[in-house]
Amino acid sequence: MSSLFRVNLGSPGTNSNHLCPLSGRSDHYTVQSNGSSRRYASPLRYPGGKGKIANFLKILIIQNDLSGVRYVEPYAGGASIALSLLFEGYVSQVHINDLNRGLHAFWNSVLTCPDRLCAKITSAPLSMEEWEKQRNIYLDPDTEGIDLAFSTFYLNRTNRSGIISGGVIGGNEQTGQWKIDARFNRESLVARVNKIAERAPDITLSMLDAIDLIKKEKQTRQGGLLYLDPPYYFKGARLYDNFYTHEDHVKVSHEIQIHPGPWVVSYDAVPEIMQLYEQCNSTQYFLNYSAAKADKGMEVMFFSKDLSRPDVPSPAGITLEDVRRMRRRLMSESG
């Protein structure tokens, strides 16, 4: 596990237990079924569709008077929520953490050498030959730095659902409806990298075990809102490099429930997880999984005792207009 450090432009420097945001078109905007539009802040694709709850967290931040708070994600993965909150001014700083070495290398490159990364994004061939080359680079345990960063990014953008082990879009023979370049809009991806790099002074990067990070947050007492999205209880081994055993989930549950600051945890809603967090305020909702065609799964979100939970039908169904309406209502009540 690497030491915790703050990353600024010009200085060196991710857990996923997640690989990689949201599926969909690789341009900046996509139109959702509810009519809202979302700008993809992250250059990475991510199985599970967690970016859909970003608007819910905005309402939670407004309702609990946490605007400008420091935001911490122990399982950052594609970091789409963290970046959305930062770019839109809901939080002042974000701490993204991931134990996956490829993701750490990628985020480090975004923050410290974006020009080199963007040059590779702009010039890399989109072919099966290049895909094989980047896969071999990624699988080599001696690969590090910009080479590991770009191989992680390349496979994430060219593989099905952004899963590193998911196989290339279109298949090895490229006979599928979609081809290897379907999610590789160079101009859009370069723009995303550069926008994140501009906010590097406001982004802290680490590669710690999630429990170690939670403990560190408690010890340093820096304050902030923690959002945990641990590996799925049942699907974790298929989706993530660093999947959890039952005992791992137990340890996380214990550590976060004794954390003194505000926190939110999201999971697949299974009996084993419900039992671990049975003393917590919670809400259940359906979420479309990008890693499975039109597949919906029941999710659950748990909240620390000091947080007021927004009264909404589903955390995954909040639109930007809902957020604006909440802001106007609270301003009216306070005025």
pLDDT of residue 326: 84
Other Cβ atoms less than 10 A from the Cβ of 87: the count is 16
Contact, 169 vs 176, CB < 8 A?
yes
The mean per-residue pLDDT over the stretch 227-244 comes to 72
Q: Give domain limits for the chain.
A: 40-99+208-334, 101-202
pLDDT of residue 24: 28
* Helix, strand or coil, per DSSP, at residue 65: coil
pLDDT of residue 286: 86
Other Cβ atoms less than 10 A from the Cβ of 175: the count is 8
Contact, 121 vs 189, CB < 8 A?
yes
Q: How confident is the model at residue 295 (pLDDT cuts 50, 70, 90)?
A: low
Q: Which two tokens stand for residue 139?
A: 């699988």
pLDDT of residue 330: 77
Looking at domain 40-99+208-334, what is its CATH homologous superfamily? Vaccinia Virus protein VP39 (3.40.50.150)
The mean per-residue pLDDT over the stretch 181-201 comes to 98
User: How far apart (Å, rounded) are the C-alpha atoms in residues 43 and 15?
Assistant: 17
- Where is average pLDDT lowest: 11-15, 48-52, 54-58, 91-95? 11-15
Contact, 234 vs 270, CB < 8 A?
yes
Residue with tokens 């290049």: 130
**CB contact burial 307-327 (16+ within 10 A = b; e otherwise):** bebbebeebbbbebebbeebe
**pLDDT tens for residues 120-150?**
999 999 999 999 999 999 999 999 999 999 9
* pTM for the structure as a whole: 0.84
Contact, 64 vs 308, CB < 8 A?
yes
The mean per-residue pLDDT over the stretch 169-198 comes to 96
pLDDT at 22 exceeding the cut of 80: no
pLDDT at 20 exceeding the cut of 70: no
CATH class of the structural domain 101-202: mainly alpha
Contact, 218 vs 259, CB < 8 A?
yes
Q: Which two tokens stand for residue 285?
A: 């909702």
DSSP code at position 27 = S
**CB contact burial 125-159 (16+ within 10 A = b; e otherwise):** eeebeebeebbebbeeeebeebbbbbbbbbbbbbb
Tell me the β-bridge partners of 204: 6, 95
Nearest to 233 by CA among 286, 262, 275, 280: 275
pLDDT at 117 exceeding the cut of 60: yes
The mean per-residue pLDDT over the stretch 268-282 comes to 96
Q: How confident is the model at residue 49 (pLDDT cuts 50, 70, 90)?
A: low
What is the Cβ-side half-sphere exposure of residue 120, based on CA atoms within 13 angstroms? 19
pLDDT at 101 exceeding the cut of 60: yes
User: How far apart (Å, rounded) are the C-alpha atoms in residues 50 and 22?
Assistant: 7
pLDDT of residue 215: 96
Structure-model confidence comparison of residues 36 and 169, the more confident one: 169
Q: Mean pLDDT for the chain? A: 85
**pLDDT tens for residues 198-214?**
999 999 999 999 999 99
**pLDDT tens for residues 315-334?**
988 998 999 988 888 777 77
Contact, 299 vs 264, CB < 8 A?
no
Structure-model confidence comparison of residues 222 and 307, the more confident one: 307
